[in-house]
């Protein structure tokens, strides 16, 4: 009975997506990439879960919400009481473990408007179930001495399979499908802001859509693994690890071809499955087919 009541509560608050408020962009708006979390599923204390922020002026757009996301936002001196919107590439656990943190911590510390969330099919059900799971927390915070804003935890969800998902005040965000293992829908995003274009690959094997949409971009934020180290890696779950990597991720050598053809001004490597390879070795591999732009291995809280 408690669960069904909570589920009914959650269903009522996960409303259809409302149109973004339209306001004029400022001439002083700048576009900055901040790698909030650069990690993988490996519980590395030096790399938080996957999360990338694009800051346009004072507006904060979050892409994925891995573990520790709210503390990383605080560490980057970015708002912890609500981002402009969050965009999920896919629903693998390492990319969403910080989602309840984003929902509830931002509410507890000041958010009173619905959090806008975009992502692939399945995001609405996940959101509904997360809020149902926190029904007791919601009740205690709103009826007790904390006096939390009633309904301030709400989320509006828009599920997408691709296309323009946000277009307001000089910021246009386009989702596009990428191939990532057996996920039916995984997404990358292109962000067109005032004078600067950012492309975020999400988790993907080599993608023609990344190649197309990153052509001439200012920054390509791309996941990567070290091709030279794959066969040396032993995983507890058996021998399909090399096969999985090839079906779900992009090697540094494969990224070299993407970088050369698309020719963005800068390639930022994140969600790096290094397997023991050094940063310099991976950068050299990405340059190996003639790309002459800047290549960096991102670490948590870097700015570009």
CA dist 64 and 66 (Å) reads 6
Q: Is 94 one of the annotated active-site residues of the chain?
A: yes
- Token pair 């339209």: residue: 22
Which residues are paired to 118 by β-bridges?
A: 87, 158
What does 106-149 look like in DSSP terms, one character per residue? HHHTT--SPEEEEESTTHHHHHHHHHHHTHHHHHHHHHSTT-PP
C-alpha distances out from residue 155 to 132, 197, 219, 288, Å: 12, 27, 30, 44
Whether the Cβ atoms of residue 120 and residue 176 lie closer than 8 Å to each other: no
Beta-carbon count within 10 A of 159 CB: 17
Beta-carbon count within 10 A of 231 CB: 10
- Among residues 29, 94, 101, 192, which one is catalytic? 94
CA dist 298 and 271 (Å) reads 9
The rounded Cα 135 to chain-centroid distance in angstroms is 26
Please, which residues have CB within 8 angstroms of residue 208's CB and are 6 or more apart in sequence?
none
Which residues are paired to 170 by β-bridges?
A: none
Please, which residues have CB within 8 angstroms of residue 183's CB and are 6 or more apart in sequence?
90, 91, 92, 120
Task: Look at residue 103 and give its three-state secondary structure.
Answer: helix
Closest listed residue to residue 91, CA positions, set 6, 13, 181 = 181
Catalytic residue positions, numbered: 94
């Amino acid at each position: 009975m408690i669960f069904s009541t909570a589920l009914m509560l959650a269903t009522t608050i996960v409303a259809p997506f409302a149109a973004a408020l339209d306001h004029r962009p400022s001439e002083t708006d700048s576009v900055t990439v901040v790698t909030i979390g650069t990690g993988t599923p490996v519980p590395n204390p030096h790399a938080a879960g996957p999360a990338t922020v694009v800051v346009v002026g004072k507006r904060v757009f979050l892409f994925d919400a891995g573990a520790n996301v709210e503390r990383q936002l605080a560490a980057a001196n970015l708002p912890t009481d609500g981002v402009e919107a969050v965009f999920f590439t896919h629903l693998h656990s390492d990319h969403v473990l910080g989602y309840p943190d984003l929902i509830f911590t931002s509410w507890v510390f000041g958010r009173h408007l619905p959090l806008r969330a975009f992502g692939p099919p399945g995001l609405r059900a996940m959101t509904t179930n997360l809020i149902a799971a926190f029904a007791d927390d919601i009740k205690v915070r709103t009826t007790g001495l904390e006096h939390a804003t009633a309904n301030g935890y709400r989320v509006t969800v828009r599920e997408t399979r691709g296309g323009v998902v946000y277009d307001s005040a000089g910021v246009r965000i386009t989702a596009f499908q990428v191939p990532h293992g057996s996920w039916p829908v995984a997404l990358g995003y292109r962000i067109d802001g005032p004078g600067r274009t950012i492309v975020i690959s999400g988790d993907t094997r080599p993608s023609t859509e990344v190649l197309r949409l990153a052509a001439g971009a200012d920054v390509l934020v791309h996941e990567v693994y070290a091709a030279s180290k794959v066969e040396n890696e032993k995983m507890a779950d058996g021998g399909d690890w090399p096969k999985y990597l090839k079906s779900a991720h992009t090697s540094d050598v494969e990224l070299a071809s993407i970088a050369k053809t698309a020719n963005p001004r800068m390639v930022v490597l994140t969600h790096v499955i290094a397997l023991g390879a050094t940063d310099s070795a991976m950068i050299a591999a990405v340059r190996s087919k003639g790309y002459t732009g800047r290549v960096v291995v991102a670490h948590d809280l870097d700015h570009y």
